[in-house]
Amino acid sequence: MKIMLLGSMSNAARMKDVKLQLEQRGLTVLATKDLDFIIANPHMPDDLDEDYKHCIENDIVRDFFDQIAESDVVLALNYAKNGVAGYCGTSVQMELGLAYYLRKKIYLLNPLPDYHEQRWALEIAILQPEVLNGDLNKIKE
């Protein structure tokens, strides 16, 4: 089974840890091709001009979409961010929409916030993801 990891690049190091954990279980794990670059340059996600240039020059979005298409399932690493538990930023929302359209199984690492408080959470809830409640062992092969 191929799993594509989604998540905020501010959590790139955590994403790498999850990737290694899942690979130790014998799973094939895909992640953004620039994961190590982002880990080595942690300022990148917050420097919008530099991030924009990097993403355009490396065709990051198209490459990411290709990896979603190649995967069997996607796992959104929706850690808390900006004071919001279960945060899913705009890129993750876009990627989840593509995964849903392509009929991929969708996992969320953590529960979504109440959609009465975070409107975007309704859009993701409609995709009917399986919530792992922080337990990667719940991923079914």
pLDDT in tens, 72-102: 999 999 999 999 999 999 999 999 999 999 9
Q: Identify the CATH number of the domain in which residue 76 sits.
A: 3.40.50
Tokens 């240039």, residue located = 53
Alpha carbon of 43 to those of 46, 68, 97: distances in Å?
6, 26, 27
Q: State the Cα–Cα distance between residues 68 and 135, nearest whole angstrom.
A: 22
Residue 141: pLDDT above 80? no
Enclosing domain of residue 9:
2-138
Instruction: Kindly report, residue by residue over 94-138, the tens digit of the pLDDT.
Output: 999 999 999 999 999 999 999 999 999 999 999 999 999 999 999
Place of tokens 């990411």: 64
User: What whole-number distance in Å separates Cα of residue 24 and Cα of residue 56?
Assistant: 33
Asked if residue 120 lies in contact with residue 127, where contact means CB atoms within 8 angstroms, the answer is: no
The total number of structural domains in the chain stands at 1
Task: For 54-77, write each residue's pLDDT tens digit.
Answer: 999 999 999 999 999 999 999 999
